[in-house]
Amino acid sequence: MFVSSLVHGVLFMLQVPVSLGSWEEWWTYDGISGPNYWGLLNPEWSLCNIGNRQSPVDIDPSKLLFDPHLRPLQVGKKRINGIITNTGHGIVFKANSTAKAEAVYIKSGPLSYEYRVDEVHVHFGSSENFGSEHTVAGQTFPAEVQILGFNSDLYKNISEAVTKSQGIVGMALLIQVGEETNFQLRLLISQLNEVLYKGQQAILKSLSVQELLPDTHFYTTYEGSLTMPGCHETVTWLVMNKPLYITRQQLYALRQLMQGEQENPKAPLVNNFRPTQAMHRRLLRTNIDFNRRKSLQCPTMYKNMFYQANPGLQ
């Protein structure tokens, strides 16, 4: 009976005319419009349910492969201006459409092209026990910041690149609770009082993507997808190997945000993360040569939890 009701509910949603609102209005992070049903809500999102290179994933230390061909990442030093928005699904910073000379680019690492930083997303939970999309050895983090860039060598903008081969790069910064926080992370969430409700926006100036990154050259990379509809499998993910830190007060401020407009706030904007997806034989490559770094007991994401790697790729 429950399954039958659920199916009828999904079919009803599929029959609602698109003219009643954009598809963006119909997906959520729970219930019959949640991640398990994204691919049923809109045929163009079918990869969300049937794709084999979906994100996020668990970074399983026992499956990491050292790849000596992975180069250090290069991230531009310029500071960018933009707009931060409460989308009803999360907090998103959108870089201004500036001239090429004023943009920030990500290159090298596993990348064959230059990627222009376009968006920064913030995912977080209702408690410190969960909130991140990517996990490490099955362990979740209270939050995750994702930096998205599009392949500017081949495509004109992120809208074009998102459905194309090698179109997007995603940098995942896992967030731990700490006494102090990165200045750029403080800047990123400094306007929360201005974006309490869906649709509200605030200007954010002089964000340094390079200084937002944790102090490490090490990362894990894999081929995956967007973590929201339509789950396009065009993303090269880079999961940085050291966390950023956020205070409990800052997490509390994030949890005051609402999913709806001021007239109809709905529920708190929390737990906006997609569960981890199956790897389907994909590789988790890393630039950490564990054989050379054993004496440093490094890197680590959690106290008393250290990575181990399989033999390197040839």
Q: Write b or e for each residue in 21-54: b if 16 or more Cβ atoms lie within 10 A of its Cβ, otherwise e.
A: eeeeebbbbeebbebebbbbbbeebebbeebebb
Q: Which of 105, 155, 222, 307 is catalytic?
A: 155
Phi, psi (degrees; rounded to nearest 5) at 46: -60, -30
Rounded Cα distance between 65 and 286, Å, is 6
Q: Where are the beta strands (DSSP E) in 248-309?
A: 284-286, 300-302, 305-306
Q: How many C-beta neighbours within 10 Å does residue 72 have? A: 10
Instruction: Give, in degrees to the nearest 5, the angle at Cα 269 between 268 and 274.
Output: 130
Separation CA 173–CA 141 (nearest Å): 10
252 labelled catalytic: no
d(CA 293, CA 289): 7
Taking the alpha carbons of 25, 27, 28, 33 in that order, is the dihedral positive or negative?
positive
Q: Cα–Cα distance between 114 and 284 in angstroms, integer?
A: 22
Catalytic residue numbers, as ranges: 155
